[in-house]
Amino acid sequence: MFPHNRDKSPGFGPVDNSKSSHVCWKTMEFKSASFNEGFWARRITVNREISLRYAFEMLEKSGNFDNLRIAAGLIKGNYRGYPFQDSDIYKWLEAMAWELGREPDKELLSMANWAITLIAAAQRPDGYINSYVQTREFPEPWMDLTNGHELYCAGHLFQAGIAFQRALGDDHLLNIACRFADHICSTFGLDKRHGTCGHPEVEMALVELYRLTGEPRYLDLAKFFIDQRGQNTMKGHRAYGSEYHQDHVPVRQVVKAAGHAVRQLYLASGVTDLYLETGEQPLFDAMLRLSNDIIETKLYITGGLGSRFDGEAFGDPYELPPDQCYCETCAAIASLMWNWRMLLVSGEGRYADLMEQALYNNILASPALDGKHYFYINPLMLRDAKYLRFSTELPSKEHLIPDQRPEWHDCACCPPNVMRLFSSLTHYLATRDAHGIQIHHFAPADIRCDLTSGQSIKLSLMTDYPWQGQVKLRIVETGNSQWALSLRIPEWSQHPSLSINGNMLRDLNLEKGYLVLERSWQAGDIIDLELGMEPMLIASNPRVDATRGCLAIQRGPIIYCLEDRDQEINGRLLDVEIDKHHPLLPRWEGDLLDGVMVIDAEGQFVDSEAWRGSLYRPVTVPVQGIPCPTHLVAIPYYAWGNRGIGGMRVWIPEKTL
Ligand SMILES: [Zn+2]
């Protein structure tokens, strides 16, 4: 089986669609883009310097490494944790690969190599690896595909192996991954064993493994696993039925988002990856139906997904409660990954808008500013900090009034998922095609790439995004031929304007959400884009009954919230109302929360005394209370809970009297 026909070309990022046939735009090589000083550079430094090292300690403390030591026969003991503990290590390793590929670090490299050696020691001679199964008294693989997560863990192993090959040219982990993938290929298939994993993830990883190695059997296996869904091969969840695993309907017949949100969105990523390679239209039609259902009825304003604790699941249409929501960090990350693939297929800016919404709000709210604490669940409202569920498990008694995000979780899927996303974030900035470059996200960065026509381009982006809407681009290098620079104009940008070398463009015609500037560019050309970042009040569809009559504050991509501690009177967030006729005023606070733009607003506290002792009253009996006018201060939602966890709300009732 070895050696594989490996692609030795310069390494790509998490998705390489350079040879995919059904694409609008192509991803760039991983080192094509690099961040300069700014919002993301700071967060990625925290991720690299603090989070990755801290995770290494946590993986040791939580038993993840011991599980592999036991599987390898290096120590004796009992397996600890959930069946999918291995995947935490693989996600962390993927993050390590992207970081080490960007810049060497001896300490991180030795941690990574040590972990890879341990994984190699635990792998069975036949290629199988899963410490949960291998540490059992009777270690029989594939006994419980529905709940076992063996293929889910395999998918994360493949992605980590791919990252080491692409970022560092190191195929040690990739060889381990391919040996396992080949073992799975020899086990599952139409003329072999049937079935698929209860938790999708392996599908997109297998497509990527195919892209890297050129081995068609990995693509065939991805298709096989996708086709197995909806064929009644699973038991169905005892409480939530077959929807929980997206096994209630064949993928091509999907009409709505259902079941466990992370599973649904990882599956959608794999299906879209399969479409990128095969062009099978019914697959993409199903993804469009799924996407429309989410956008129109099941998406939180923060980019969060999953309204229900029960089953960590999508709810009914318009069931979007702000307080009792789930909005798992991993679901928003999976949504970003899926929307990236939808963007690559379609060239529609709305998918980049969805990525941005998830990134700057739900995803960014997960890590604390210190890089050592993470939210798993991301509610849009916390009443009095008397009770906050951090995870699927109930908090222990002493955590009923928490003062910080937890340092780790029993089910620690989210922290290393944030780490691998942040460490590979430059991958998502821009794409290319034969005609030019498309800029999807705005950050201070240098971008260098060759167009698929062969022309070499270098660009420099300067911006104070997400705090200011000005983006300056400088053409640093260009060939002689004409090419197109496409800039996404976010949906929230009401009155964008643009000038080239100081000359204002009169008509800004957008193509699928992008401004396309095609010309013979010269080195030194300057493009000034002004997106406009006026604060806005946002209302929800009246069918979202939980937030009817409420407004949310948005400025640029950032959704805001009120934290109790910032208000004139504490403990009264339940009584607050916002005056929509008073202007919203942004104000820079450089020393607050690592530097944030706060928003000043005006409103009032309704007189709760007038209701004391009663929950209900006939509307014919007038309320006697006198409201108390108040100044309101809103902070970016992502930064909440960094000064102790207290009352918070994104949706604010509109002042009525
Ligand atoms: Zn998670």
Burial class (CB in 10 A: 0-12, 13-18, 19+), 395: middle
397 pLDDT higher than 90 = no
Distances (CA, A) of 549 to 45, 127, 333: 41, 58, 30
Ligand 1 center–CA 413 separation, angstroms:
4
Q: What is the pLDDT of residue 83?
A: 96
123-126-132 Cα angle (round to 5)? 45
409 pLDDT higher than 90 = no
What does the block give as tokens for 594? 């690592």
Distances (CA, A) of 319 to 326, 501, 601: 12, 49, 28
Instruction: Give the model's confidence band at 395: pLDDT under 50 very low, under 70 low, under 90 confident, else very high.
Output: low
What does the block give as tokens for 374? 């993470």
3 pLDDT higher than 60 = no
Choosing from 413, 414, 449, 561, which is the catalytic residue? 413
Interval 612-627: pLDDT, tens:
899 999 999 887 889 9
Q: Angle formed by the axes of helices 329-346 and 261-278, to 10°?
A: 20
Query: H helices then E strands: how many in the chain?
Result: 17, 22
End-to-end Cα, the chain, rounded Å: 75
Ligand 1 center–CA 621 separation, angstroms:
48
Ligand 1 center–CA 329 separation, angstroms:
5
5 pLDDT higher than 90 = no
CA distance 26 to 24: 7
Which residue blocks in 298-376 are alpha helix, DSSP H? 329-346, 349-357, 364-365
Residues of the chain by 3-state class (helix, strand, coil), percent to 5: 40, 20, 45
Q: Per the omega criterion (within 30 degrees of 0), is the bond before 636 cis?
A: no
Interval 230-271: pLDDT, tens:
988 888 888 888 999 999 999 999 999 999 999 999 999 999
Distances (CA, A) of 437 to 176, 430, 500: 36, 7, 17
Ligand 1 center–CA 414 separation, angstroms:
4
Burial class (CB in 10 A: 0-12, 13-18, 19+), 551: buried
Ligand 1 center–CA 422 separation, angstroms:
15
Whether 628 is a known active-site residue: answer no
394 pLDDT higher than 70 = no
Choosing from 29, 215, 312, 577, which is the catalytic residue? 312
Residue with tokens 């599987």: 71
Q: Of the given ranges (148-152, 237-241, 571-575), which has the lowest mean pLDDT?
A: 237-241
DSSP state string for 257-302: --SBHHHHHHHHHHHHHHHHHH--HHHHHHHHHHHHHHHHHTB-TT
Q: Find the mean pLDDT for residues 207-233.
A: 96
Q: Angle formed by the axes of helices 85-102 and 64-71, to 10°?
A: 110
pTM for this model (two decimals): 0.97
Which residue blocks in 18-51 are alpha helix, DSSP H? 39-46
CA distance 653 to 83: 43
CA distance 488 to 515: 6
570 pLDDT higher than 60 = yes
CA distance 359 to 68: 33
Residue with tokens 């695993």: 245
Q: What is the pLDDT of residue 400?
A: 58
CA distance 131 to 66: 9
Give SS3 for 441: coil
Ligand 1 center–CA 91 separation, angstroms:
11
Interval 285-296: pLDDT, tens:
999 999 999 999
CA distance 30 to 102: 9
Ligand 1 center–CA 53 separation, angstroms:
19
Residue with tokens 């020899």: 186
Distances (CA, A) of 462 to 27, 445, 456, 517: 22, 7, 20, 18
Q: What is the pLDDT of residue 4?
A: 45
- Residue 29 has phi, psi (to 5 degrees) of -65, 150
Interval 480-491: pLDDT, tens:
889 999 999 999
On average, the pLDDT of the chain sits at 94
- Residue 563 has phi, psi (to 5 degrees) of -105, 140
Instruction: Give the model's confidence band at 404: pLDDT under 50 very low, under 70 low, under 90 confident, else very high.
Output: confident
Per DSSP, 72 falls in state T
Q: What is the pLDDT of residue 625?
A: 87
Percentage of the chain lying above the pLDDT 70 cut: 96
Ligand 1 center–CA 391 separation, angstroms:
9
CA distance 84 to 154: 10
Interval 333-350: pLDDT, tens:
999 999 999 999 999 999
Ligand 1 center–CA 136 separation, angstroms:
25
Whether 413 is a known active-site residue: answer yes
Q: Are 104 and 170 in contact (CB under 8 A)?
A: no
> Closest by alpha carbon to 342, among 391, 301, 289?
289
What does the block give as tokens for 200? 């999708």
- Contact residues for 481 (Cβ-Cβ < 8 A; gap 6+): 453, 455, 520
Give SS3 for 630: strand
